C-alpha cells in the first residue's frame, strides 16, 4: 500500500506546473530572404527587365508585320539572345550565379535605308553601358525558316544580329517605294521629276527624301533623335562619389597621354590667345562686293519663285 502511495505522489510531482526544461524551450525561427529564382534560367526573365521607353510603331514592308509579337532565340556560349521584331533585343546569362546578367540590348527604333532598300532594323536605347546605351542592328537575310542565326559585338555595347527569314527572299521584298502609301509615292515621283528638271540638287533630293521617310515612320526626325540623346545624357550622372573619382582618374590619365604625344611631336598645347569681339560679328563680305554663299545646300537651284 505504501509503495502504491509513493508512486502516486511521484506522478503528481511530475504533472505539477513548473519551469520547462531547457531542451524543451520554444524554437526561435529566423526568416531569411529567399533569393531562389531571382535569376533562375528555368523561370521567365523578361518580367524583370525595365525598358527605358516603348518601342516605335511597326513600320516597313507589310509582309514583315506578321513577325510582330513573335520572338526568336539563339544560345551562344553561356548567353541566350532573344530577338523580338518591332519590339526589342535581350540577352540572358545561362548560369546559376546569383547575379546572372539579363538585360536589354536595344528597343525597336527605326530602319536603316540606303539605295531605296531597307538595310536593317535599329534597336536603340537599351540598358546603360558606361556613358551610353546599348544598341543593336539586325540584318535581314534570306533563309529557309525564320530564325536568329548569328550575334556578335563588333564594338563595345553595339551588337550585330543576323536574322534569316523566307519573307525577304524575293529580290523586291525589301524595296522602300512599294511599301509607301500612294500619297508618299507621288511625293517621291515629284522629287524624281524635280531632280531631272534640275529644280533641286542631288543634295536637296537626299534631304527631301529623308523627310519623306520620316513622314512614313521609317526614320526618326532630328527632334526625336535629340530627345534620345538627352535621355542618354542622364546616364552620365555618377551614382557614387567613388565612380566619379575613378572617372576623373581616367580622364587625367588620358590628358597626360595626349600631352605626351603632343610634346613628342613638338606640337604646342597652350591655350590660344583670345580673339577680339569684332572678329565674331557676322560673316565677312569679300572685297569684290559679292555675298559669300551660305554653308549648307538648301536644295534649290537658281530663283524658283
What gap in Å lies between CA 55 and CA 104, rounded to an integer? 12
Q: Which domains, ranges and CATH numbers included, belong to the chain?
A: 46-175 (2.70.130.10), 180-223 (no CATH)
Residue with cell 518580367: 47
Q: Which residue has the higher pLDDT, 98 or 111?
A: 111
- pTM here is 0.59
- The reported pLDDT for the residue numbered 179 is 96
Burial (0-12, 13-18, 19+ Cβ within 10 Å), 159: buried
- Of 5-9, 170-174, 220-224, least confident by mean pLDDT is 5-9
Cα distances (Å, whole numbers) of residue 175 to 16, 119, 172, 193, 247: 95, 9, 5, 20, 46
pLDDT per position as a tens digit, 88-108: 999 998 888 877 888 999 999
- Of 93-97, 140-144, 215-219, 285-289, least confident by mean pLDDT is 285-289
Cα distances (Å, whole numbers) of residue 106 to 55, 81, 262, 273, 289: 10, 12, 39, 45, 54
Residues 6+ apart with CB under 8 A from 24: none
Closest CA to 57 of 71, 68, 41: 68
Amino acid at each position: 500500500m505504501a509503495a502504491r502511495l509513493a508512486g502516486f505522489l511521484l506522478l503528481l510531482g511530475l504533472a505539477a506546473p513548473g519551469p520547462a526544461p531547457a531542451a524543451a524551450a520554444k524554437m526561435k525561427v529566423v526568416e531569411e530572404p529567399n533569393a531562389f529564382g531571382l535569376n533562375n534560367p528555368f523561370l521567365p526573365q523578361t518580367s524583370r527587365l525595365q525598358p527605358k521607353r516603348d518601342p516605335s510603331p511597326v513600320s516597313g514592308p507589310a509582309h514583315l508585320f506578321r513577325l510582330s509579337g513573335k520572338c526568336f532565340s539563339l544560345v551562344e556560349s553561356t548567353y541566350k539572345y532573344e530577338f523580338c521584331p518591332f519590339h526589342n533585343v535581350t540577352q540572358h546569362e545561362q548560369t546559376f550565379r546569383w547575379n546572372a546578367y539579363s538585360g536589354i540590348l536595344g528597343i525597336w527604333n527605326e530602319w536603316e535605308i540606303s539605295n531605296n532598300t531597307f538595310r536593317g532594323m535599329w534597336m536603340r536605347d537599351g540598358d546603360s553601358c558606361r556613358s551610353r546605351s546599348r544598341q543593336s542592328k539586325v540584318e535581314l537575310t534570306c533563309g529557309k525558316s525564320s530564325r536568329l542565326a548569328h550575334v556578335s559585338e563588333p564594338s563595345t555595347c553595339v551588337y550585330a544580329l543576323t536574322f534569316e527569314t523566307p519573307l525577304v527572299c524575293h529580290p523586291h521584298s525589301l524595296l522602300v517605294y512599294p511599301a509607301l502609301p500612294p500619297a508618299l509615292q507621288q511625293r517621291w515621283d515629284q522629287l524624281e521629276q524635280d531632280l531631272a528638271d534640275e529644280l533641286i540638287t542631288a543634295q536637296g533630293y537626299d534631304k527631301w527624301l529623308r523627310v519623306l521617310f520620316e513622314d512614313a515612320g521609317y526614320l526618326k526626325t532630328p527632334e526625336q533623335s535629340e530627345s534620345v540623346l538627352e535621355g542618354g545624357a542622364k546616364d552620365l550622372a555618377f551614382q557614387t562619389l567613388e565612380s566619379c573619382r575613378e572617372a576623373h582618374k581616367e580622364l587625367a590619365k588620358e590628358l597626360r597621354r595626349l600631352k605626351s604625344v603632343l610634346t613628342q611631336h613638338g606640337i604646342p598645347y597652350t591655350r590660344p590667345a583670345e580673339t577680339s569681339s569684332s572678329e565674331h560679328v557676322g560673316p565677312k563680305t569679300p572685297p569684290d562686293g559679292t555675298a559669300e554663299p551660305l554653308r549648307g545646300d538648301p536644295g534649290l537651284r537658281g530663283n524658283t519663285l
